Amino acid sequence: MKDFRSAMRRMGLRSLVLAVAVAALVAPVQADTITFNPGNGAIPGISQFAYTPGNVVAVGAIQPGQIGPQPGNSFNIYYQSILSSVNDVNSVPLAGAGAGGNFNGSGNEFTVIAGFREMITAGSLAQGFLNFTVTSPNAFSTSTTNPNFFEIFRVAPGTANPTTGTGFFSATAPILTGHVVTPPSGAFGTGNFGSIITSPTVPLGTTPGGPLSGTQTIQGNGSTQLLVQVDTFNPTFFPVNPLFLTFSTSNFLPETHVIPTNRFSNGSGDGNVTAVVGSVNGVNGPDLVFESDSSNGFLVPEPSSVIQAATAVTFLPLFFAFRRIRSRKSVA
């Protein structure tokens, strides 16, 4: 017995914690559907939130004296959009925004804003690609130097204006808040921008109008994959905590589905960031504006294992390693 106790002490706290984490991961969370209540009745069986094409700005992506973004540059990303539909597991809309943004006749419009910090890890305009990684700390923050937030608001229909870049932030408490987390799997917290064409440049927006009308831009496309840990949620709208959101974007230049704007929210006010893109967006900055078409899925706790799920969140790297193993088995 004495030898056993000594062996247990030698294992140390780290091994004990590891054992607890593995036990918690037996059945903690699953990719699943949620129920969402836009304000006039619950809609079950939702696997995805789809958002309208929105504007994004990379603040400080181009440093003084540079021509275009360069590896090693760090910058703040600010994203804003409007919930357009909620979809089932087959991506079929179950409900959507009606005329004037009135979602499902509820008398509400739902906006989303996000902010996080990225760094360019490889590539250049001359090479025709750029790779990114998220560098925000894993905590909720609306800091102007290290932002990390994801918020969904309920506003009156027609409040959000993509062209002016206002109405996405509300002084009323958001119905959901979260922050980007970056597990070591590499599956989330990464992005890329490729097929870059620097000459000839084209108009930034294919639809005339807006504060950046007449601005030229480089061309290209890319994507971003983020994992958002939910911090708070309003049970009136989300009867069960979604726990995590898997957030994905497709990014484009020029902007073909939304009029470019130069105003964004940094999470502490409405339209309080003004983008400066220079004469050619993506070349002489310092900021870079682009279009993003986004959606998010959900990871929710099983009703019988909410406590287990909370334990597993503490050991997120193990959680994702476990999920990758399960995924490979299901594919096989």
Provide the pLDDT for residue 319: 41
What is the count of structural domains for the chain?
Answer: 2
- For residues 76 and 213, membership in a common domain is answered with yes
Residue numbers of the domain that contains 79: 29-301
Q: 40-49, 178-187, 307-316: which has the highest mean pLDDT?
A: 40-49
**pLDDT, mean over the chain:** 85
Q: What pLDDT score does 32 carry?
A: 85
Residue 283 and residue 309 in one domain:
no
pLDDT for 31: 59
The candidate with the shortest Cα–Cα distance to 203, out of 261, 125, 256, is: 256
Query: Is residue 305 over pLDDT 60?
Result: no
- 35 and 15 share a domain? no
**Both 2 and 138 in a single domain?**
no
pLDDT tens track for 161-218: 999 999 999 999 999 999 999 766 666 789 999 999 999 999 999 998 999 999 999 9
Same domain flag for 284 and 310:
no
HEC letters along the chain = CHHHHHHHHHHHHHHHHHHHHHHHCCCCEEECCEEECCCCCCEEEECEEEECCEEEEEECCCCCCCCCCCCCCEEEEEEEEEEEEEECCCCCEEEEECHHHCECCCCCEEEEEEEEEEEEEEEECCCCEEEEEECCCCCCECCCCCCEEEEEEEECCCCCECCCCECCCCCCCCCEEEEEECCCCCCCCEEEEEEEEEEEEEECECCCCCCCCCCEEEEEEEEEEEEEEEEEECCCCCCCCCEEEEEEEEEEECECCCCCCCEECCCCCCCCEECCCCCEECCCCCCEEEEEEEEEEEEEECHHHHHHHHHHHCCHHHHHHHHHHHHHHHHC
pLDDT number for residue 188: 78
User: For residue 241, what pLDDT is reported?
Assistant: 87
Give Cα 53 to chain centroid, integer Å.
13
pTM of the model: 0.83
Dig out the tokens for 148 from the structure: 């990390």
pLDDT tens for each residue of 225-278: 999 999 999 999 999 889 999 999 999 999 999 999 999 999 999 999 999 999
Q: Are residues 129 and 253 in the same domain?
A: yes
Do 203 and 222 belong to one domain? yes
pLDDT in tens, 27-43: 344 558 999 999 999 99
Query: Within this chain, do residues 267 and 149 fall inside the same structural domain, yes or no?
Result: yes
Residues 24 and 142 placed together within one structural domain of the fold: no
Are residues 185 and 322 both part of a single domain? no
Percent share of the chain, pLDDT over 90: 75
Between 315 and 95, the higher pLDDT residue: 95
